[in-house]
């Protein structure tokens, strides 16, 4: 067969399951798309910020031109905001692109990468896609067991993937534990600290991960504009790393991997601190609204530091179907080995209320 032209390790990859698109569900269930509530992909329910939107509108006039292949303006803005040098920055078509670049650059058959049980699904995917071996380390209380992860590092390990906060569990590692991990981790192993949700953390919970780059040459910090900044559809993320590592990643990325609209929007988004603050506040209020309802309904959940919460509900497949039929899209986690849990992203107050209403109907009905 033609599929057998691909190596066995590629054929063994389970497809990534994104949240069901609204239009697909509308057609499937014969529902009005305007009434569907999608709380499945940890997006910003406010949409994009006004400054980013204005930047996109201005940039529309330039779409016949290629984007800036070096992303100069965006890198300059990132350098200024995060106090790093331009040669430490790699831009990606979403942070997923960055994760893939890292795997492509540093992993081969015969290498291995370490990650936690229940950690973000793209880590095993990116690792397996290049023929390297996945080392999945048992979680503790749904979070990363950093000591066990360190112990799992083998001579052939090139990368440790860490999501902080983690998706889909929302768990958070303490800064002190991360520093200890970095201190004890072999210096020839790259530590990828994926901080897609870091903006949602209260100041006192935040790690000075970017500051740690000075001390740990093997650290790569990964960030995204898809969550708090509200630009998921534009696809833009970035890595901050040692210049040597950044140089390698920049050599293998596609020359125009981040499109012009995304670059312009990201620059403007970094300048829109007002919108960022509002997004974080809306998330905190929505998190309270949803977790209080879960408690009231007697459903246990994993305390989350992201813009989503994972709760336990018995047969998640049944509940998920019940919700889909009523136009509420959440994320089943069977692919993560959590067949009794669902992940709900925090939405606007009325979206959260609709989710709660349908959940109550399922529980009490």
Site for ligand PMP, rule CB under 6 A? 42, 94-96, 120, 163, 167, 194, 196, 224, 226, 232, 237
Report residue 123 as tokens.
Answer: 């880590």
Task: Give the residue among 171, 276, 190 at the shortest CA–CA distance from 228.
Answer: 276
In order of 163, 206, 290, 293, the CA distances from 301 in angstroms are 19, 22, 10, 11
- If the CB atoms of residues 78 and 293 are measured against ligand PMP, the closer one turns out to be 78
Three-state secondary structure call for residue 240: strand
Q: How far apart are CA 272 and CA 295, in angstroms?
A: 35
DSSP letter for each residue of 208-238? -HHHHTTT-TTEEEEEESSSTT--GGG--EE
**Under a CB-based contact definition with an 8 Å cutoff, are residues 112 and 157 in contact?**
yes
Least Cβ distance, residue 84 to ligand PMP (angstroms): 19
Least Cβ distance, residue 12 to ligand PMP (angstroms): 22
- If the CB atoms of residues 231 and 293 are measured against ligand PMP, the closer one turns out to be 231
Preceding amide of 165 cis, omega within 30: yes
Least Cβ distance, residue 307 to ligand PMP (angstroms): 10
- If the CB atoms of residues 116 and 218 are measured against ligand PMP, the closer one turns out to be 116
Least Cβ distance, residue 103 to ligand PMP (angstroms): 13
- If the CB atoms of residues 269 and 293 are measured against ligand PMP, the closer one turns out to be 269
Does an H or E element contain 302, and which? none
Preceding amide of 168 cis, omega within 30: yes
Least Cβ distance, residue 8 to ligand PMP (angstroms): 27
Task: Give the residue among 129, 123, 127, 189 at the shortest CA–CA distance from 153.
Answer: 189
Least Cβ distance, residue 284 to ligand PMP (angstroms): 19
Least Cβ distance, residue 360 to ligand PMP (angstroms): 28
Q: In what order do the strands lie in the sheet with 308-312?
A: 308-312, 338-345, 331-333
- If the CB atoms of residues 97 and 293 are measured against ligand PMP, the closer one turns out to be 97
* Tokens 């309802």 -> residue: 293
Least Cβ distance, residue 365 to ligand PMP (angstroms): 31
- If the CB atoms of residues 125 and 358 are measured against ligand PMP, the closer one turns out to be 125
- If the CB atoms of residues 310 and 358 are measured against ligand PMP, the closer one turns out to be 310
**Under a CB-based contact definition with an 8 Å cutoff, are residues 280 and 200 in contact?**
yes
- If the CB atoms of residues 128 and 326 are measured against ligand PMP, the closer one turns out to be 128
Q: How far apart are CA 158 and CA 221, in angstroms?
A: 16
- If the CB atoms of residues 226 and 263 are measured against ligand PMP, the closer one turns out to be 226
What is the number of other CB atoms lying within 10 angstroms of the CB of residue 268? 24
Using CB positions, name the residue nearest to ligand PMP: 94
Least Cβ distance, residue 195 to ligand PMP (angstroms): 8
């Amino acid at each position: 067969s033609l599929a057998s032209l691909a190596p066995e390790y590629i054929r063994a990859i389970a497809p990534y399951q994104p949240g069901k698109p609204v239009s697909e569900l509308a057609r499937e269930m014969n529902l009005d798309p305007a009434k569907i509530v999608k709380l499945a992909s940890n997006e910003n329910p406010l949409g994009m910020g006004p400054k980013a939107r204005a930047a996109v509108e201005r940039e529309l006039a330039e779409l016949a031109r290629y984007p800036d292949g070096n992303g100069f303006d965006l890198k300059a803005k990132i350098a200024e905001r995060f106090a790093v040098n331009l040669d430490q920055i790699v831009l990606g078509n979403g942070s997923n692109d960055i994760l893939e670049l890292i795997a492509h650059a540093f992993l081969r058959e015969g290498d291995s990468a370490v990650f936690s049980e229940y950690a973000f699904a793209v880590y095993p995917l990116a690792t397996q896609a290049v023929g390297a071996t996945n080392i999945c380390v048992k979680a503790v209380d749904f979070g990363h067991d950093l000591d066990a992860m360190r112990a799992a590092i083998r001579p052939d390990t090139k990368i440790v993937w860490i999501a902080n906060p983690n998706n889909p569990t929302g768990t958070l590692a303490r800064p002190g534990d991360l520093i200890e991990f970095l201190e004890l981790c072999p210096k020839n192993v790259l530590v990828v600290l994926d901080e897609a949700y870091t903006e949602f953390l209260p100041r006192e919970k935040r790690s000075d991960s970017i500051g740690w780059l000075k001390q740990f040459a093997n650290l790569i910090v990964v960030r995204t504009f898809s969550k708090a900044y509200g630009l998921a559809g534009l696809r833009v993320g970035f890595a901050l790393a040692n210049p040597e590592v950044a140089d390698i990643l920049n050599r293998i990325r596609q020359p125009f991997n981040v499109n012009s609209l995304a670059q312009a929007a990201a620059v403007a988004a970094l300048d829109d601190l007002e919108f960022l603050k509002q997004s974080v506040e809306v998330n905190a209020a929505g998190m309270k609204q949803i977790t209080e309802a879960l408690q009231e309904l007697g459903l246990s959940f994993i305390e989350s530091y992201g813009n989503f919460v994972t709760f336990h509900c018995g047969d998640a497949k049944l509940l998920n179907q019940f919700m889909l039929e009523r136009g509420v899209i959440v994320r089943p986690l069977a692919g993560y080995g959590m067949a009794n849990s669902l992940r709900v992203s925090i939405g606007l107050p009325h979206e959260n209320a609709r989710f709660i209403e349908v959940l109550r109907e399922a529980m009490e009905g």
